[in-house]
Structure 1
Amino acid sequence: MSTTHELVPLGSGWLMLADEQDDVRGMSVLDVRDHRVGEVEEILLDSEARRARLLVIASGGIMGLEQHHRLVPVDAVSRVRAHVRLERSDLHVESGFDYDPVPPGPVDYGPVYSYFGYTPFWEDGYRPPYFLDRRW
């Protein structure tokens, strides 16, 4: 089975989330220890279900210069209130996978899910931990 799946940036404008309340772009991201990780800059969603699958977390830099953009599965979100809280540390995110907004070819997101310890959304038995279930 192929592990390359077309994920579309929400910011591209041609595809909307199934539930607009799931748009957490611009929200601060805190880790499991209450350390600031960064901010949700973009959401990658699958074109079939129109569900968020990966967050693009921007961190570091000044006024957008020298920022790092890391991919984090939405499965790592423990809750959403005034900020997005992750089940992982800021160091775990920082050591993770870079986001390339214009990849040179098909992207295999399997290693991102594996690194964070989650089952990819395309595999049998995947149970979606979804944003609305975590707003409390």
Structure 2
Amino acid sequence: MTEEEPVGLVRIDDTDLTLARMEDDVRGDTAVGSDGEEIGKVASLYVDEPERRVRLLDVESGGLLGLGAEHRLIPVDAVVSVADRKVVIGRTRAEIAQAPGYDPTLKEIEPLDNLDELYGYYGMTPFWVPGYRYPGYPFR
């Protein structure tokens, strides 16, 4: 993949793709900040189909039965560990709350549509930049 040819991301729930091992599925797991505070639940995963890699977690917080909930995209590169149905993110809850939001009704996300801003906020190299190394998600 080159910087000139980024691919779009799709919600895994809207594809025929499955994870290689179902026990690695973090959807429904609790996302926790590096300060130990709960952020929310992993609502979905965004993947790039050509490489069959999870790139972003959609973490949902607040609201009642999904109404009024806030969503944050978190690069898998920010995940520190996954164990006991908890996904630990390498940022505090307050830092994640300040991250760029997004519209959870989007079924596809173009990498250059605010993802530069998202990866910049987290201080991470975007997956479409030459030399990027996949973090080995899901860390179980």
Q: Pick from 47, 50, 53: which aligns with 2:49?
A: 47
Q: Can you list the C-alpha shifts for 1:94-113, whole angstroms capped at 9, x where unaligned?
A: 11122323279845222111
Q: Can you list the C-alpha shifts for 1:27-51, whole angstroms capped at 9, x where unaligned?
A: 0011101100000001000111111
Q: In the alignment, what sits opposite 1:91?
A: 94
Q: Which amino acid aligns with 1:66?
A: G
Contact 2:57 2:73 in 1 (8 A): yes
CA RMSD of aligned residues (A): 2.1
Check if 1:114 corresponds to 2:116.
no
Give me the identity figure in percent: 36
Gaps of 5+ in 1: none
Q: Can you list the C-alpha shifts for 1:65-97, whole angstroms capped at 9, x where unaligned?
A: 210011100001000001100100111111112
Q: In the alignment, what sits opposite 1:11?
A: 13
Q: Pick from 124, 130, 134: which aligns with 1:128?
A: 134
C-alpha distance in structure 1 between counterparts of 2:11 and 2:48, whole Å = 9
TM-score (norm 2): 0.84
Gaps of 5+ in 2: none
Which stretches of structure 1, 4 residues or longer, exceed 3 Å deviation after superposition? 1-4, 17-22, 103-107
Q: CA deviation at 1:26?
A: 0.3
Larger mean Cα displacement after TM superposition, 32-41 or 55-64: 55-64
Secondary structure (helix, strand or coil) at the match of 1:91 reads: helix
TM-score (norm 1): 0.87
Contact 1:76 1:86 in 2 (8 A): yes
Higher relative contact order (CA 8 A, sep 6+): 2
Matched residue count:
134
